[in-house]
Structures are given as structure tokens and as C-alpha cells.
Structure 1
Amino acid sequence: MRHMRIWTYVDEAARSGSLRKAAEKLNITPSALQRRIRDVEEDLGTPIFERTAQGIHLTAAGEGMLRWIRGQAADLDRLKSQIEDMSGLRRGNVRICCSQALVPFFLPQEITLFRSVFPQVRFNVEVRDHAVAVRMLREFESDLAIVFRPDRSVDIQPLCVLGQRLVAIMAQDHPLAKKPGLRVRDCVGYPIALPSSDFGTRAIIDDLLARSSARLDVQLESNSFELLRNLARGGDVVTFQAEIGAPHPPQSDGLVYRPLSDKDVAHGPLVVCQLKGRTLPVAVAKFAEQLARHLDALRVEPVEGAEAATG
């Protein structure tokens, strides 16, 4: 809507930290953008940006203003989605933040299935760790977060929770590939590649090792699960992730996914969540319902790709 344009200007200025950069993205002149922002500041009776030689920064009032702007934009998106849904167009935009374990198999399958029914719905997917994903929900930069082992927060509402074991990932010809009942201590003596310390999987492994006398030979750490899986595929390296990252149904990807024994207590929750109190746009709500149904099916049906070699 036309009256929302000024809020877009303020939002872009905050993201860019520079009037010049924001003006370039908005296709207006810096002086015109500055006038629009000053009009807002006059209406509010207080500055919303602090001007420095290094650029512009939100004041405390500006941060509150920006949260309000993004909330208004989210409500407008929801209204548009409801209007389009009533007209039968089934359009919309679904913005998701997710853990890396969702990327190889589960989330692409879910998006493909959803778009086969609602082809005009667009998706924006950001792969982030759980702390950033929760922040993006709070700042209305994402509609849903699908993350492993998020921190509890009073302003985040879980929509679906599924317990997840950790799986050890290795090449098909790895000596551990045919071993039933795999435990972390069985991986001693093999080169290990672990996720970085800001991932929930790593926290579980660290907690487990703190309770155990086993010492792993950690030769590589990375914030890329794709890199970790490729290292495992190409040699004798073993890595770990949540079982949602295993193919379901099984498929040939050159890897074996072995769930860790329950004796190791190596598990945590996968959570689909939203900002508490926010009414989701129709397309987002429908996709969240689909996710909940399919995750609930995994609750009672073992992940076969994690139980046996896939090849």
C-alpha cells in the first residue's frame, strides 16, 4: 500500500546503515530519503536514527519503531494472504529459517510437495543456527523456524516438537558401517569431523563426551554440514548430525547413517516454531500444518535411511 512506502524506507535505512546505500536500493536520492525520515522523526517528536561519520544507527526509539513497522508489514502480508485465499488464488510467501540438517532431504521434499498443490506460493529459506533463527522470528524477518535444540523463550511458540537421535555418518565401506548398536566410543580411533560449537548437535556430543572416558580424534570442525558429509563420503572420516538429515525413504547418496545407541542419551528436540501471539499468513499456516503432519508420522515410523546403509 502507498502509505506503507515510508516504512519501507525506514526499514531499508536500518538494514543498510547508510542513507546513500539505502537510497540506491530504493531507487531514490539520498536527500529525498533523508527528508522522508525527518518527516517521521518530526511526527514522533524524537530522532529514530543517530547520524555519525560511519553511517546511521537506530536510537532506542528507532528500534521500537522498526519492530512496529515489521509487525505492520507482517500483518499486511497475512491480510493479503487471507484475501487471496478467499479468492482461490492460493498465493503467498513462506519465509523459513532452518537448521542445516533439514536442507539435504526433508525440507526440499516438503516444499516440493506443497508447491505441487499450491504452485503460486513462493518460499524464502535461510539456513541459520538456532539462535539466529529465533532472532529472525522476533524481528519479523522469518515466519517459521525449524531448528534443532533451540533455547527456551517465552516469546517463541512451538508448533511441533519431534525428538531426534544423533546419527553417525560415514562412507558405505567404512568399518563401522555394518556395526549394529553404534555408540560414540566405537568411533574412537577414527578421524572425526564435528559441527562448530554453536550447533545443537555439537553441544550434545560435547555433553556426552564430558560424561564419558572416550576421547575422539577431532581433526576438523566446520559450520557447513555439507562439507562434513562430503568428508565422510570421501574417506574414513565420521561425522554426526540429527537424524532428520538422513534420507527418508532411503536413497543412494554414498553414505551410511547409523543412529547412536540410546545408551549414549544422544538426542534432542527438533522444533517448528513461530513468534508467540502472531497470526500466521494463510500460506504459512498451511505449510506449518503439513510439516506437523509429516513430522508426526516420523514419530511413529523409524527413519529407515538411518537404520541401514543406503547405496
Structure 2
Amino acid sequence: MTNRHLMPLAYVDVIARAGSIRKAADRLSITSTALNRRVLALEEELGVPIFERLPRGVRLNTAGELLIAHIRAQMSDFEKLKSQLSDLAGERRGHVAIACSQALLPYFLPECISAYRRAHPAVTFGVAVRDRQAAEQALVDLSSDIALVFEPVRMREIQVLIAVRQQIHAVMAADHPLAERATVRLRDCAAFPVGLPAQQYGVRHLLDMALVRSSVELSVALEADTFEFLRHYPAHEHLVSFQIPVGLPMSGDRDDIVSRPVDTRDIPEGTLYLCQLRGRTLPVAAAKFAADIERGLEELYA
């Protein structure tokens, strides 16, 4: 994805991410000696060192941090230029980098990406699973073009493209006693073992806040950092886990698993944000795909 005149700078980016010249050389399929020579040549050209040499690797110094911000901005701008030039040629090309919560992976995002690629098969995608804080950071360091974040941690550097409300759902086996109800209360869930997402996730944040405000005590049988596990486990035990609608099958309940909304008097709705870095002009392919995502979220949840 990088042209030849940016290649020496791209090497610095790979080294910074790997934390080691040897590891970076392996990823770039060149020798560590050759890669080190290129770094030394660049440092000589700049007149300052950019890496601090450590016993077990390297890390960027202050000059290196300034350089890496410039490098990533240049690489991002080049991707935008390629996409714009492809538009002029009448051919849709480009690459879209997405950082997102796990909930987007099983249903919503695959449908959106496949629909886009049917219309623009030359566009490639990179999908990185990130918790809410890491997803925002991916926008800041330009490793992602757009992010889909549930209950963000900070918003100062982020431009929101669309925000949709998401009611927390309880997930359970189809034969679970609570499955007969249209809506469940948090106190109903307290009568059964529950599975909770790890603390870095927005769903857990809303649950913890709700428990602080109430007298309900949940019997936590398991905790996991994967929603895929929490979505499927209730088929094996009368346990209740929690999810947001975008992470549930769009066609409704499965034969063995169902979901029921939790009363908003107990757990208020959260917000799913589609966002980009504030002030950044996205590459054409990323901007067009973001517009498709925005329309899809509006149709489902507006």
C-alpha cells in the first residue's frame, strides 16, 4: 500500500510498531543489518537520532515521535491521493482501515463490507478489533480511517459521523425461564448465573453503573473478553449474558439462543458512534464506505 518514495519512511513505522529492528526486518523480508543501515542513513540525513537503543530493542525518542506522526500523515495522504486518482480514472480503488468493537464483527460489518465490495471489488479492507479506548487511539495515530465505538472514553479529537442508541439485551437459551418475557428486569437476571464482558467494554461499563445505582447483586459465573463466547455460552447453561442489538443476528432469534431487551429503567441505553479523526479528510473509498455505514445504521436504528 506504500509507494517507493515513501518506503524508507515506512520502514521507520514498521520498526516503531515492532519495537525491534530484528523483528521489523523479519516482517519486511530484509536483513536486520540492511535495515539498520537505512535507519542510520536517515538519522544522518535528519541530523538527529530517532530511536533510543535498548538492550532488547528500540523505541522512538522525542524526535522519532515527531517523525512518526509526519510519516503516518504522509502515508494516509498518499492513500487518499491514490483513491482520488482512481476516481479520475473511473475505477474505484483504495483501502479502508476500520477499528471497531467486537459487536460489529459477526453480522453488521460483514454485510456492509460485502455489499460495498460487490459494487467496488478493487477496494480492500482492514478490520482491527479494538476496545473503545484503543479504537479512538487508532484514529489519532492514523492506523484506522473510521471507528465504530460503543460508549467512547473520550471525544475531544473525534468527529462523530452518526450516533445511534443501543438498548442492552439479555442473551439466554431458548428454553430459559426469562425467554417467555418481552422485556426483562435486572432483578430477574439476578436469580440466575450471569456472564459479563471484561471491564474495558462499553456494555460492562453500563452494567456496572446500573448496579451501583441499584440494590441488585448479580451472581457472576464467568467473565470474558470475547462477546462471541458470551453470545454462544447460554446454549450450554441457564446463564444470562449481555449484548447490544448490533451484535445480535439481524434475522432475529436462533433456535437455541434468544435475546430480550433489558428494561431501560434498570440499564439506560448506550450509544454506538461512527467516527473519524477530527479535521481529517478521509480517502475517497473510506469516505464513501463511511457514508454507507451511516445509512445502514440509520435504517436499522434511527
Contact persistence 2:190–2:218 (CA under 8 A): yes
Q: CA deviation at 1:36?
A: 1.6
Query: Are 1:117 and 2:110 counterparts?
Result: no
What is the match of residue 46 of structure 1? 48
Give the Cα–Cα distance (whole angstroms) in 2 for the partners of residues 235 and 29 of structure 1: 53
Give the Cα–Cα distance (whole angstroms) in 2 for the partners of residues 118 and 232 of structure 1: 39
Give the Cα–Cα distance (whole angstroms) in 1 for the partners of residues 273 and 197 of structure 2: 19
1:154-173 to 2 correspondence within 5 Å? 154-173=156-175
Give the Cα–Cα distance (whole angstroms) in 2 for the partners of residues 197 and 219 of structure 1: 15
What is the match of residue 94 of structure 2? 92
What is the match of residue 228 of structure 2? 226
Contact persistence 1:205–1:266 (CA under 8 A): no
Normalising by structure 2, report the TM-score. Answer: 0.95
Give the Cα–Cα distance (whole angstroms) in 1 for the partners of residues 275 and 147 of structure 2: 5
Normalising by structure 1, report the TM-score. Answer: 0.93
SS at match of 1:176: helix
Contact persistence 1:137–1:143 (CA under 8 A): yes
Give the Cα–Cα distance (whole angstroms) in 1 for the partners of residues 299 and 230 of structure 2: 28
Give the Cα–Cα distance (whole angstroms) in 2 for the partners of residues 114 and 128 of structure 1: 22
Give the Cα–Cα distance (whole angstroms) in 1 for the partners of residues 249 and 42 of structure 2: 51
Contact persistence 2:96–2:286 (CA under 8 A): yes
Contact persistence 2:203–2:242 (CA under 8 A): yes
Query: Are 1:139 and 2:141 counterparts?
Result: yes
Give the Cα–Cα distance (whole angstroms) in 2 for the partners of residues 74 and 51 of structure 1: 28
What is the match of residue 309 of structure 1? none
Give the Cα–Cα distance (whole angstroms) in 1 for the partners of residues 253 and 120 of structure 2: 26
Give the Cα–Cα distance (whole angstroms) in 2 for the partners of residues 30 and 299 of structure 1: 51
What is the match of residue 129 of structure 1? 131
1:254-265 to 2 correspondence within 5 Å? 254-265=256-267
Q: CA deviation at 1:253?
A: 5.6
Give the Cα–Cα distance (whole angstroms) in 1 for the partners of residues 15 and 96 of structure 2: 24
SS at match of 1:162: strand
Aligned equivalent of 2:202, options 200, 203, 208: 200
Contact persistence 2:168–2:267 (CA under 8 A): no
More moved, 57-66 vs 112-121: 112-121
Contact persistence 2:231–2:243 (CA under 8 A): no
SS at match of 1:249: coil
Give the Cα–Cα distance (whole angstroms) in 2 for the partners of residues 253 and 106 of structure 1: 20
Q: CA deviation at 1:15?
A: 1.6
The alignment's C-alpha RMSD in Å is 1.4
Give the Cα–Cα distance (whole angstroms) in 1 for the partners of residues 179 and 100 of structure 2: 29
Q: Residue type of the partner of 2:70?
A: W
What is the match of residue 17 of structure 1? 19
What is the match of residue 179 of structure 1? 181
Q: Residue type of the partner of 2:58?
A: I
Summarize the Cα distance change of 1:253–1:77 in structure 2 as closer, same or farther, 3 Å threshold. farther
What is the match of residue 304 of structure 1? none
Segments of structure 1 that go 5 or more residues without pairing to the other structure are 301-311
Give the Cα–Cα distance (whole angstroms) in 2 for the partners of residues 200 and 28 of structure 1: 42
Contact persistence 2:174–2:255 (CA under 8 A): no
Q: Residue type of the partner of 2:67?
A: M
Contact persistence 1:172–1:255 (CA under 8 A): yes
C-alpha distance after superposition, 1:206-227 (max 9, x if no partner): 1101111111111100001111
Q: Residue type of the partner of 2:286?
A: V
Q: CA deviation at 1:299?
A: 2.7
Give the Cα–Cα distance (whole angstroms) in 1 for the partners of residues 117 and 191 of structure 2: 46
What is the match of residue 239 of structure 2? 237
Q: CA deviation at 1:28?
A: 2.6
Give the Cα–Cα distance (whole angstroms) in 1 for the partners of residues 82 and 240 of structure 2: 48
Give the Cα–Cα distance (whole angstroms) in 2 for the partners of residues 65 and 50 of structure 1: 14
